[in-house]
Structure 1
Amino acid sequence: MSEEHKESPESISRRKFIRNTGFTVGGLAVGGILGSLLTRQDKDSNNGKKDTHAEAGNFNEALMYFTPEQFRITEAITERIFPEDDLGPGAKGLGVAYYIDHQLAGDWGFNAREYMQAPFFVGEKVQGYQGRLKRRNIFDIGLREIQNHSMAVYKKNFTDLKGEEQDAILKDFEGDKIQLTTISPSGFFQMLRSATLEGAYSDPLYGGNRNMDGWKMRKYPGSQMAYTTIIDKDFQEVKPQSLKSHMNH
Protein backbone atom coordinates (compact mmCIF):
# COMPACT_ATOMS: atom_id res chain seq x y z
CA MET A 1 0.00 0.00 0.00
CA SER A 2 1.37 3.40 -0.94
CA GLU A 3 2.05 5.99 1.70
CA GLU A 4 -0.82 8.25 0.55
CA HIS A 5 -3.32 5.41 0.93
CA LYS A 6 -2.27 4.30 4.40
CA GLU A 7 -4.80 5.02 7.15
CA SER A 8 -3.70 7.32 9.91
CA PRO A 9 -3.62 6.02 13.51
CA GLU A 10 -6.52 8.40 14.26
CA SER A 11 -8.63 6.86 11.47
CA ILE A 12 -7.93 3.30 12.63
CA SER A 13 -8.70 4.21 16.23
CA ARG A 14 -12.00 5.83 15.24
CA ARG A 15 -13.04 2.77 13.22
CA LYS A 16 -12.32 0.48 16.18
CA PHE A 17 -14.35 2.73 18.46
CA ILE A 18 -17.38 2.62 16.15
CA ARG A 19 -17.17 -1.16 15.78
CA ASN A 20 -16.64 -1.94 19.46
CA THR A 21 -19.34 0.34 20.86
CA GLY A 22 -22.10 -0.67 18.47
CA PHE A 23 -22.36 2.97 17.40
CA THR A 24 -24.17 2.14 14.16
CA VAL A 25 -25.98 -0.81 12.64
CA GLY A 26 -26.50 -0.41 8.92
CA GLY A 27 -26.35 3.35 9.35
CA LEU A 28 -28.88 3.43 12.19
CA ALA A 29 -27.89 4.78 15.57
CA VAL A 30 -28.70 2.26 18.28
CA GLY A 31 -27.36 3.90 21.39
CA GLY A 32 -24.01 4.77 22.90
CA ILE A 33 -22.59 8.21 22.37
CA LEU A 34 -25.08 9.25 19.70
CA GLY A 35 -27.94 8.13 21.95
CA SER A 36 -26.72 10.43 24.69
CA LEU A 37 -26.47 13.32 22.24
CA LEU A 38 -30.06 12.80 21.14
CA THR A 39 -31.34 12.76 24.70
CA ARG A 40 -33.10 15.99 25.68
CA GLN A 41 -31.19 17.57 28.52
CA ASP A 42 -33.90 19.87 29.85
CA LYS A 43 -34.01 18.07 33.20
CA ASP A 44 -31.47 16.51 35.52
CA SER A 45 -30.72 13.00 34.29
CA ASN A 46 -31.96 10.28 36.67
CA ASN A 47 -31.99 12.74 39.58
CA GLY A 48 -28.23 12.47 39.86
CA LYS A 49 -28.28 8.67 39.92
CA LYS A 50 -25.83 6.73 37.80
CA ASP A 51 -27.07 4.65 34.89
CA THR A 52 -26.08 1.16 36.03
CA HIS A 53 -26.88 -0.39 32.66
CA ALA A 54 -24.60 2.05 30.85
CA GLU A 55 -21.88 1.31 33.41
CA ALA A 56 -22.28 -2.37 32.67
CA GLY A 57 -21.44 -1.65 29.03
CA ASN A 58 -24.88 -2.02 27.42
CA PHE A 59 -24.77 1.04 25.20
CA ASN A 60 -28.18 0.17 23.74
CA GLU A 61 -29.72 1.26 27.03
CA ALA A 62 -29.31 4.99 26.51
CA LEU A 63 -32.16 7.47 26.14
CA MET A 64 -32.66 8.78 22.63
CA TYR A 65 -35.98 10.64 22.95
CA PHE A 66 -37.54 10.58 26.43
CA THR A 67 -36.64 12.96 29.19
CA PRO A 68 -35.66 11.08 32.38
CA GLU A 69 -39.09 11.89 33.87
CA GLN A 70 -40.91 10.54 30.81
CA PHE A 71 -38.76 7.43 30.93
CA ARG A 72 -39.59 6.77 34.59
CA ILE A 73 -43.34 7.19 33.97
CA THR A 74 -43.17 4.90 30.94
CA GLU A 75 -41.20 2.33 32.91
CA ALA A 76 -43.82 2.35 35.68
CA ILE A 77 -46.72 2.10 33.21
CA THR A 78 -45.23 -0.78 31.24
CA GLU A 79 -44.50 -2.70 34.43
CA ARG A 80 -48.21 -2.55 35.33
CA ILE A 81 -49.11 -3.76 31.85
CA PHE A 82 -46.47 -6.52 31.84
CA PRO A 83 -45.63 -7.17 35.52
CA GLU A 84 -42.93 -9.37 36.95
CA ASP A 85 -44.15 -12.69 38.31
CA ASP A 86 -42.84 -16.14 39.23
CA LEU A 87 -42.42 -16.97 35.53
CA GLY A 88 -39.93 -14.19 34.84
CA PRO A 89 -39.17 -10.46 34.72
CA GLY A 90 -41.67 -7.76 33.89
CA ALA A 91 -41.37 -4.85 31.49
CA LYS A 92 -38.90 -3.01 33.71
CA GLY A 93 -36.59 -5.99 33.97
CA LEU A 94 -36.84 -6.51 30.21
CA GLY A 95 -35.94 -2.89 29.42
CA VAL A 96 -39.21 -2.25 27.55
CA ALA A 97 -39.11 1.51 28.20
CA TYR A 98 -35.79 1.67 26.31
CA TYR A 99 -37.42 -0.08 23.36
CA ILE A 100 -40.26 2.46 23.30
CA ASP A 101 -37.80 5.34 23.65
CA HIS A 102 -35.76 4.12 20.69
CA GLN A 103 -38.86 3.58 18.54
CA LEU A 104 -40.09 7.12 19.23
CA ALA A 105 -36.69 8.46 18.19
CA GLY A 106 -36.95 6.72 14.82
CA ASP A 107 -39.38 6.24 11.93
CA TRP A 108 -42.16 4.82 14.11
CA GLY A 109 -42.19 7.94 16.27
CA PHE A 110 -42.35 10.16 13.19
CA ASN A 111 -45.03 8.05 11.41
CA ALA A 112 -42.53 8.13 8.56
CA ARG A 113 -44.14 5.28 6.61
CA GLU A 114 -47.72 6.50 6.88
CA TYR A 115 -49.76 9.05 4.98
CA MET A 116 -50.05 12.05 7.30
CA GLN A 117 -51.50 14.78 5.09
CA ALA A 118 -54.83 16.60 5.51
CA PRO A 119 -57.78 16.39 5.51
CA PHE A 120 -58.20 14.62 8.86
CA PHE A 121 -61.47 12.99 9.91
CA VAL A 122 -62.59 11.08 12.98
CA GLY A 123 -62.48 7.47 11.82
CA GLU A 124 -64.17 4.35 13.09
CA LYS A 125 -62.38 2.39 15.81
CA VAL A 126 -61.63 -0.39 13.35
CA GLN A 127 -59.78 2.11 11.15
CA GLY A 128 -57.18 2.95 13.72
CA TYR A 129 -55.62 6.35 14.29
CA GLN A 130 -56.69 9.04 11.79
CA GLY A 131 -55.23 12.21 13.31
CA ARG A 132 -52.48 14.68 12.51
CA LEU A 133 -50.29 14.09 15.57
CA LYS A 134 -47.20 11.92 15.28
CA ARG A 135 -46.70 9.09 17.76
CA ARG A 136 -43.95 10.96 19.61
CA ASN A 137 -46.36 13.88 20.06
CA ILE A 138 -49.06 11.52 21.32
CA PHE A 139 -46.65 10.05 23.87
CA ASP A 140 -45.57 13.51 25.01
CA ILE A 141 -49.19 14.51 25.60
CA GLY A 142 -50.30 11.13 26.98
CA LEU A 143 -47.53 10.83 29.57
CA ARG A 144 -48.17 14.40 30.72
CA GLU A 145 -51.90 13.74 31.03
CA ILE A 146 -51.31 10.55 33.02
CA GLN A 147 -49.19 12.58 35.42
CA ASN A 148 -51.85 15.32 35.57
CA HIS A 149 -54.62 12.79 36.23
CA SER A 150 -52.54 11.18 38.95
CA MET A 151 -52.04 14.53 40.66
CA ALA A 152 -55.74 15.38 40.33
CA VAL A 153 -56.93 12.08 41.84
CA TYR A 154 -54.21 11.16 44.35
CA LYS A 155 -52.15 14.36 44.73
CA LYS A 156 -49.07 12.28 43.91
CA ASN A 157 -46.78 11.66 40.97
CA PHE A 158 -47.73 8.56 39.01
CA THR A 159 -44.43 6.90 39.87
CA ASP A 160 -45.15 7.38 43.60
CA LEU A 161 -48.52 5.62 43.50
CA LYS A 162 -49.18 2.11 44.74
CA GLY A 163 -49.68 -0.56 42.13
CA GLU A 164 -53.46 -0.65 42.45
CA GLU A 165 -53.60 3.16 42.25
CA GLN A 166 -51.54 3.12 39.06
CA ASP A 167 -53.91 0.49 37.66
CA ALA A 168 -56.88 2.75 38.42
CA ILE A 169 -55.30 5.63 36.52
CA LEU A 170 -54.56 3.40 33.53
CA LYS A 171 -58.09 1.96 33.56
CA ASP A 172 -59.48 5.50 33.39
CA PHE A 173 -57.47 6.00 30.20
CA GLU A 174 -58.37 2.59 28.79
CA GLY A 175 -62.07 3.24 29.39
CA ASP A 176 -62.05 6.86 28.13
CA LYS A 177 -63.22 7.99 31.55
CA ILE A 178 -61.34 11.26 31.33
CA GLN A 179 -61.89 14.06 28.86
CA LEU A 180 -58.96 15.11 26.68
CA THR A 181 -59.25 17.45 23.73
CA THR A 182 -55.89 16.61 22.16
CA ILE A 183 -55.72 12.80 22.08
CA SER A 184 -57.92 9.75 22.66
CA PRO A 185 -57.16 8.35 26.14
CA SER A 186 -58.08 4.80 25.08
CA GLY A 187 -56.12 5.18 21.85
CA PHE A 188 -53.03 6.19 23.78
CA PHE A 189 -53.45 3.28 26.19
CA GLN A 190 -53.77 0.79 23.35
CA MET A 191 -50.66 2.23 21.71
CA LEU A 192 -48.80 1.87 25.01
CA ARG A 193 -50.01 -1.70 25.48
CA SER A 194 -48.97 -2.74 21.97
CA ALA A 195 -45.56 -1.11 22.33
CA THR A 196 -45.07 -2.83 25.69
CA LEU A 197 -45.70 -6.29 24.23
CA GLU A 198 -43.47 -5.50 21.26
CA GLY A 199 -40.67 -4.42 23.58
CA ALA A 200 -41.00 -7.56 25.69
CA TYR A 201 -40.69 -9.90 22.70
CA SER A 202 -38.71 -8.01 20.07
CA ASP A 203 -35.08 -8.76 19.32
CA PRO A 204 -32.80 -7.29 22.03
CA LEU A 205 -31.10 -5.32 19.27
CA TYR A 206 -33.97 -2.84 19.51
CA GLY A 207 -33.58 -2.12 23.21
CA GLY A 208 -36.11 -4.43 24.93
CA ASN A 209 -36.23 -8.14 25.75
CA ARG A 210 -33.11 -7.81 27.89
CA ASN A 211 -30.97 -10.96 27.92
CA MET A 212 -33.63 -12.54 25.66
CA ASP A 213 -35.63 -13.26 28.83
CA GLY A 214 -38.91 -12.55 27.05
CA TRP A 215 -38.09 -15.27 24.54
CA LYS A 216 -36.86 -17.64 27.23
CA MET A 217 -40.19 -17.42 29.05
CA ARG A 218 -41.91 -18.47 25.82
CA LYS A 219 -39.18 -20.96 24.85
CA TYR A 220 -38.85 -19.06 21.59
CA PRO A 221 -35.59 -19.67 19.67
CA GLY A 222 -35.20 -16.09 18.51
CA SER A 223 -33.23 -15.18 15.39
CA GLN A 224 -31.57 -18.44 14.40
CA MET A 225 -29.38 -18.39 11.29
CA ALA A 226 -30.44 -21.92 10.30
CA TYR A 227 -31.94 -25.17 11.58
CA THR A 228 -30.07 -27.54 9.28
CA THR A 229 -28.34 -29.36 12.15
CA ILE A 230 -31.61 -30.30 13.88
CA ILE A 231 -34.30 -30.18 11.20
CA ASP A 232 -34.35 -33.96 10.76
CA LYS A 233 -34.20 -34.72 14.48
CA ASP A 234 -36.88 -35.07 17.14
CA PHE A 235 -38.27 -31.91 18.73
CA GLN A 236 -35.78 -30.19 21.01
CA GLU A 237 -35.39 -26.87 22.74
CA VAL A 238 -32.98 -24.46 21.10
CA LYS A 239 -30.96 -21.85 22.94
CA PRO A 240 -32.28 -18.47 21.72
CA GLN A 241 -30.08 -16.18 19.65
CA SER A 242 -30.31 -12.45 19.01
CA LEU A 243 -29.38 -10.50 15.91
CA LYS A 244 -26.74 -8.88 18.11
CA SER A 245 -24.97 -12.21 18.55
CA HIS A 246 -24.80 -12.72 14.76
CA MET A 247 -23.29 -9.26 14.34
CA ASN A 248 -20.46 -10.15 16.71
CA HIS A 249 -19.30 -13.03 14.51
Structure 2
Amino acid sequence: MSSDKNNVSRRDFLKTTGIAAGTLVGGGLIGGLVGYNIHGKGTSTLEHGGHGTTNEATGSPKAKMFFRNERDFSILSNATERIFPEDDLGPGAIGLDVPYFIDHQLAGNYGSNSKEYMQGPFDVGAPTQGYQSRLTRAEIFRQGIQTMEDEAQKRYKKSFNDLDGKQMDEILTAFQKGDIEMVGVTSAFFFTLLRAATLEGAYSDPMYGGNRNMDGWRMKGFPGHQMAYITQIEDTKFQKIEPNPLGNH
Protein backbone atom coordinates (compact mmCIF):
# COMPACT_ATOMS: atom_id res chain seq x y z
CA MET A 1 0.00 0.00 0.00
CA SER A 2 1.04 3.56 -0.49
CA SER A 3 2.17 5.71 2.38
CA ASP A 4 -1.04 7.76 2.32
CA LYS A 5 -3.36 4.84 2.96
CA ASN A 6 -4.83 6.66 5.95
CA ASN A 7 -5.86 9.79 4.06
CA VAL A 8 -9.42 8.49 3.70
CA SER A 9 -11.05 7.34 6.91
CA ARG A 10 -13.19 4.21 6.92
CA ARG A 11 -16.09 6.26 8.30
CA ASP A 12 -15.90 8.76 5.41
CA PHE A 13 -15.74 5.99 2.83
CA LEU A 14 -18.75 4.18 4.25
CA LYS A 15 -20.70 7.44 4.29
CA THR A 16 -19.93 8.38 0.70
CA THR A 17 -20.63 4.91 -0.71
CA GLY A 18 -23.90 4.43 1.12
CA ILE A 19 -22.82 1.45 3.18
CA ALA A 20 -23.38 3.28 6.45
CA ALA A 21 -26.99 3.82 5.43
CA GLY A 22 -27.51 0.10 5.00
CA THR A 23 -27.46 -0.03 1.21
CA LEU A 24 -25.11 -2.97 0.83
CA VAL A 25 -26.13 -4.70 -2.39
CA GLY A 26 -25.45 -8.36 -2.89
CA GLY A 27 -28.50 -10.49 -3.40
CA GLY A 28 -27.77 -13.32 -1.02
CA LEU A 29 -24.03 -12.82 -0.86
CA ILE A 30 -23.81 -14.03 2.72
CA GLY A 31 -24.96 -17.51 1.80
CA GLY A 32 -22.88 -17.56 -1.35
CA LEU A 33 -19.71 -16.34 0.25
CA VAL A 34 -19.63 -18.39 3.41
CA GLY A 35 -20.95 -21.58 1.84
CA TYR A 36 -17.50 -22.56 0.65
CA ASN A 37 -15.14 -23.92 3.32
CA ILE A 38 -18.01 -24.42 5.77
CA HIS A 39 -17.00 -28.03 6.20
CA GLY A 40 -13.30 -27.35 5.97
CA LYS A 41 -13.13 -28.13 2.25
CA GLY A 42 -10.63 -26.19 0.24
CA THR A 43 -8.62 -24.96 3.21
CA SER A 44 -5.72 -27.36 2.80
CA THR A 45 -2.74 -25.85 1.02
CA LEU A 46 -1.81 -29.32 -0.19
CA GLU A 47 -5.04 -29.64 -2.15
CA HIS A 48 -4.08 -26.66 -4.27
CA GLY A 49 -0.35 -27.14 -4.40
CA GLY A 50 0.22 -24.03 -2.35
CA HIS A 51 2.70 -23.44 0.41
CA GLY A 52 1.28 -21.41 3.23
CA THR A 53 0.70 -21.33 6.94
CA THR A 54 -2.44 -21.52 9.00
CA ASN A 55 -3.25 -19.42 12.02
CA GLU A 56 -4.80 -22.13 14.18
CA ALA A 57 -6.39 -19.60 16.52
CA THR A 58 -8.49 -18.11 13.72
CA GLY A 59 -8.49 -20.84 11.07
CA SER A 60 -7.16 -18.52 8.37
CA PRO A 61 -5.18 -20.45 5.73
CA LYS A 62 -2.44 -18.24 4.32
CA ALA A 63 -2.34 -19.72 0.84
CA LYS A 64 -3.83 -18.56 -2.44
CA MET A 65 -6.32 -20.93 -4.07
CA PHE A 66 -7.69 -18.89 -6.98
CA PHE A 67 -5.18 -16.22 -7.97
CA ARG A 68 -1.98 -17.69 -9.41
CA ASN A 69 -0.56 -14.36 -10.53
CA GLU A 70 0.99 -12.40 -7.67
CA ARG A 71 0.34 -9.13 -9.48
CA ASP A 72 -3.39 -9.84 -9.65
CA PHE A 73 -3.54 -10.83 -5.99
CA SER A 74 -1.73 -7.62 -5.07
CA ILE A 75 -4.22 -5.57 -7.11
CA LEU A 76 -7.05 -7.25 -5.22
CA SER A 77 -5.29 -6.60 -1.92
CA ASN A 78 -4.66 -2.93 -2.64
CA ALA A 79 -8.21 -2.38 -3.88
CA THR A 80 -9.78 -3.96 -0.79
CA GLU A 81 -7.50 -1.91 1.45
CA ARG A 82 -8.73 1.29 -0.20
CA ILE A 83 -12.31 0.15 0.40
CA PHE A 84 -11.65 -0.89 4.01
CA PRO A 85 -8.50 1.02 5.05
CA GLU A 86 -6.51 0.65 8.22
CA ASP A 87 -7.10 3.57 10.56
CA ASP A 88 -7.17 4.44 14.23
CA LEU A 89 -10.11 2.08 14.74
CA GLY A 90 -8.14 -1.01 13.74
CA PRO A 91 -6.68 -3.01 10.83
CA GLY A 92 -7.81 -2.70 7.26
CA ALA A 93 -8.67 -5.34 4.70
CA ILE A 94 -5.11 -6.60 4.32
CA GLY A 95 -4.60 -6.88 8.07
CA LEU A 96 -7.86 -8.79 8.32
CA ASP A 97 -6.85 -11.26 5.55
CA VAL A 98 -9.76 -10.12 3.39
CA PRO A 99 -7.84 -10.78 0.13
CA TYR A 100 -7.35 -14.42 1.18
CA PHE A 101 -11.03 -14.67 2.10
CA ILE A 102 -12.07 -13.45 -1.36
CA ASP A 103 -9.50 -15.67 -3.05
CA HIS A 104 -10.82 -18.77 -1.27
CA GLN A 105 -14.44 -17.92 -2.02
CA LEU A 106 -13.68 -17.43 -5.73
CA ALA A 107 -12.15 -20.91 -5.74
CA GLY A 108 -15.44 -22.42 -4.55
CA ASN A 109 -19.19 -22.28 -5.16
CA TYR A 110 -19.31 -18.50 -4.81
CA GLY A 111 -16.88 -18.06 -7.69
CA SER A 112 -18.45 -20.67 -9.95
CA ASN A 113 -22.10 -19.75 -9.18
CA SER A 114 -22.62 -23.51 -9.12
CA LYS A 115 -25.66 -23.32 -6.84
CA GLU A 116 -27.41 -20.55 -8.75
CA TYR A 117 -29.56 -20.36 -11.86
CA MET A 118 -27.28 -19.23 -14.67
CA GLN A 119 -29.42 -19.63 -17.80
CA GLY A 120 -30.72 -16.84 -20.01
CA PRO A 121 -32.14 -14.40 -20.78
CA PHE A 122 -29.28 -12.15 -19.71
CA ASP A 123 -30.98 -8.78 -19.83
CA VAL A 124 -29.81 -5.80 -17.82
CA GLY A 125 -32.04 -6.10 -14.79
CA ALA A 126 -33.15 -3.69 -12.13
CA PRO A 127 -31.17 -3.60 -8.85
CA THR A 128 -33.94 -5.59 -7.18
CA GLN A 129 -33.59 -8.46 -9.64
CA GLY A 130 -30.29 -9.75 -8.33
CA TYR A 131 -27.59 -11.48 -10.36
CA GLN A 132 -28.12 -11.00 -14.12
CA SER A 133 -24.75 -11.59 -15.79
CA ARG A 134 -23.93 -14.63 -17.92
CA LEU A 135 -20.46 -14.52 -16.36
CA THR A 136 -19.56 -16.27 -13.13
CA ARG A 137 -18.15 -14.24 -10.25
CA ALA A 138 -14.76 -15.82 -10.89
CA GLU A 139 -14.85 -14.57 -14.48
CA ILE A 140 -16.04 -11.13 -13.38
CA PHE A 141 -13.27 -10.80 -10.80
CA ARG A 142 -10.59 -11.92 -13.26
CA GLN A 143 -11.80 -9.41 -15.82
CA GLY A 144 -12.28 -6.68 -13.22
CA ILE A 145 -8.77 -7.06 -11.82
CA GLN A 146 -7.26 -6.97 -15.31
CA THR A 147 -9.39 -3.96 -16.24
CA MET A 148 -8.17 -2.12 -13.14
CA GLU A 149 -4.62 -2.78 -14.28
CA ASP A 150 -5.40 -1.65 -17.83
CA GLU A 151 -7.02 1.53 -16.53
CA ALA A 152 -3.99 2.32 -14.38
CA GLN A 153 -1.69 1.88 -17.37
CA LYS A 154 -3.98 4.03 -19.52
CA ARG A 155 -4.22 6.88 -17.02
CA TYR A 156 -0.83 6.85 -15.32
CA LYS A 157 1.44 4.53 -17.35
CA LYS A 158 1.92 2.53 -14.15
CA SER A 159 0.71 -0.71 -12.66
CA PHE A 160 -2.25 -0.34 -10.31
CA ASN A 161 0.04 -1.63 -7.56
CA ASP A 162 2.41 1.30 -8.10
CA LEU A 163 -0.22 4.02 -7.79
CA ASP A 164 -0.66 6.18 -4.73
CA GLY A 165 -3.85 6.00 -2.71
CA LYS A 166 -5.52 8.97 -4.39
CA GLN A 167 -4.94 7.49 -7.83
CA MET A 168 -6.30 4.11 -6.75
CA ASP A 169 -9.39 5.82 -5.34
CA GLU A 170 -9.91 7.65 -8.62
CA ILE A 171 -9.98 4.39 -10.54
CA LEU A 172 -12.18 2.64 -7.98
CA THR A 173 -14.61 5.57 -8.07
CA ALA A 174 -14.78 5.32 -11.86
CA PHE A 175 -15.66 1.63 -11.48
CA GLN A 176 -18.29 2.46 -8.88
CA LYS A 177 -19.91 5.00 -11.21
CA GLY A 178 -19.92 2.53 -14.10
CA ASP A 179 -17.59 4.69 -16.20
CA ILE A 180 -15.22 1.85 -17.14
CA GLU A 181 -16.14 -0.47 -20.00
CA MET A 182 -16.23 -4.19 -19.26
CA VAL A 183 -17.51 -7.16 -21.27
CA GLY A 184 -20.67 -8.94 -20.17
CA VAL A 185 -20.98 -6.92 -16.99
CA THR A 186 -20.83 -3.29 -15.88
CA SER A 187 -17.91 -1.95 -13.90
CA ALA A 188 -20.44 -0.75 -11.32
CA PHE A 189 -21.61 -4.32 -10.77
CA PHE A 190 -18.02 -5.53 -10.40
CA PHE A 191 -17.40 -2.82 -7.82
CA THR A 192 -20.55 -3.87 -5.96
CA LEU A 193 -19.27 -7.46 -5.81
CA LEU A 194 -15.82 -6.31 -4.71
CA ARG A 195 -17.14 -4.01 -1.99
CA ALA A 196 -19.62 -6.57 -0.67
CA ALA A 197 -16.99 -9.33 -0.60
CA THR A 198 -14.58 -6.99 1.19
CA LEU A 199 -17.09 -6.34 3.95
CA GLU A 200 -17.99 -10.02 4.19
CA GLY A 201 -14.31 -10.87 4.60
CA ALA A 202 -13.88 -8.26 7.31
CA TYR A 203 -16.84 -9.44 9.39
CA SER A 204 -17.40 -13.14 8.63
CA ASP A 205 -16.37 -15.86 11.03
CA PRO A 206 -12.58 -16.39 10.90
CA MET A 207 -13.09 -20.00 9.83
CA TYR A 208 -13.76 -18.68 6.32
CA GLY A 209 -10.34 -17.07 6.01
CA GLY A 210 -10.97 -13.42 6.86
CA ASN A 211 -11.60 -11.38 10.02
CA ARG A 212 -8.14 -12.32 11.23
CA ASN A 213 -7.89 -12.65 14.99
CA MET A 214 -11.56 -11.55 15.11
CA ASP A 215 -10.38 -7.94 14.90
CA GLY A 216 -13.29 -7.04 12.62
CA TRP A 217 -15.67 -8.13 15.37
CA ARG A 218 -13.64 -6.33 18.03
CA MET A 219 -13.98 -3.06 16.16
CA LYS A 220 -17.75 -3.54 16.16
CA GLY A 221 -17.94 -4.83 19.72
CA PHE A 222 -19.56 -7.99 18.36
CA PRO A 223 -19.21 -11.01 20.70
CA GLY A 224 -19.21 -13.64 17.98
CA HIS A 225 -20.81 -16.98 18.75
CA GLN A 226 -21.34 -17.32 22.48
CA MET A 227 -22.77 -20.51 23.93
CA ALA A 228 -24.99 -18.51 26.32
CA TYR A 229 -25.38 -15.11 27.98
CA ILE A 230 -26.73 -16.44 31.27
CA THR A 231 -24.13 -14.60 33.35
CA GLN A 232 -24.63 -11.26 31.60
CA ILE A 233 -28.31 -11.07 30.70
CA GLU A 234 -29.49 -9.67 34.01
CA ASP A 235 -26.80 -6.98 34.19
CA THR A 236 -28.03 -3.52 33.15
CA LYS A 237 -24.51 -2.31 32.27
CA PHE A 238 -22.97 -2.71 28.83
CA GLN A 239 -21.09 -5.98 28.66
CA LYS A 240 -17.79 -6.12 26.80
CA ILE A 241 -17.41 -9.77 25.84
CA GLU A 242 -14.37 -11.37 24.25
CA PRO A 243 -15.54 -12.63 20.84
CA ASN A 244 -15.76 -16.34 20.22
CA PRO A 245 -15.47 -18.00 16.76
CA LEU A 246 -17.40 -21.01 15.51
CA GLY A 247 -14.25 -23.10 15.63
CA ASN A 248 -14.23 -22.97 19.43
CA HIS A 249 -17.57 -24.81 19.72
Q: Same fold (TM over 0.5)?
A: yes
- Residues 1:193 and 2:180 aligned together: no
Give me the whole-angstrom Cα distance separating, in 2, the residues matched to 1:156 and 1:182: 26
- From 22, 45, 55, the equivalent of 1:32 is 45
User: Superposed, which structure 2 residues align to 1:38-49 within 5 Å?
Assistant: none
Distance 1:177 1:147, change over 3 A: same
Match of 2:142? 140
Candidates 199, 214, 217, aligned match of 1:215: 217
SS of the residue corresponding to residue 188 of structure 1 reads: helix
Q: Residues 1-249 of structure 1: matches in 2 within 5 Å?
A: 26=39, 28-34=41-47, 36-37=48-49, 54=53, 60-67=61-68, 68-234=70-236, 235-246=238-249
CA contact (8 A) 1:98 1:208 kept: yes
In proportion to residue count, which structure has more helix? 1
Q: Which has the higher contact order (CA 8 A, sep 6+)?
A: 2
CA distance in 1, matches of 2:204, 2:220: 12
Partner residue in 2 for 1:9: none
What amino acid is aligned across from residue 64 of structure 2 in structure 1? Answer: L
Is the CA contact (8 Å cut-off) linking 2:96 and 2:215 kept in structure 1? Answer: yes
Q: Aligned partners of 2:40 and 2:95: how far apart in 1?
A: 28
Gaps of 5+ in 2: 1-36
Which amino acid in 2 is paired with 1:60? P
Retained in 1: the 8 A contact 2:134–2:184? Answer: no
Q: Could you tell me whether the CA contact under 8 Å between 1:104 and 1:136 is conserved in 2?
A: yes
For 2:44 and 2:246, the matched residues in 1 are separated by 16
Count the aligned residue pairs: 209
Quote the offset at 1:227 in angstroms.
Answer: 1.9
- Between the aligned partners of 1:240 and 1:221, the Cα distance in structure 2 is 4
Relative to structure 1, the CA distance from residue 33 to residue 226 in structure 2 (aligned partners, 3 Å threshold; closer, same or farther) is farther
Q: Which runs of 5+ in 1 are unaligned?
A: 1-23, 40-50
1:117 is displaced (CA, Å) by 1.4
Question: Counterpart of 1:111 in structure 2: which amino acid?
Answer: N
Q: Which has the larger radius of gyration?
A: 1
1-structure distance, mates of 2:148, 2:242: 40
Percent identity, please: 48
- For structure 1, which segment, 111-120 or 206-215, has the greater mean C-alpha deviation from structure 2 after superposition? 111-120
Q: Which moved more, 1:151-160 or 1:233-242?
A: 233-242
Q: CA deviation at 1:133?
A: 0.7
Say whether the 8 Å CA contact 1:31–1:64 is kept in structure 2.
Answer: no
With normalisation by structure 1, the TM-score equals 0.78
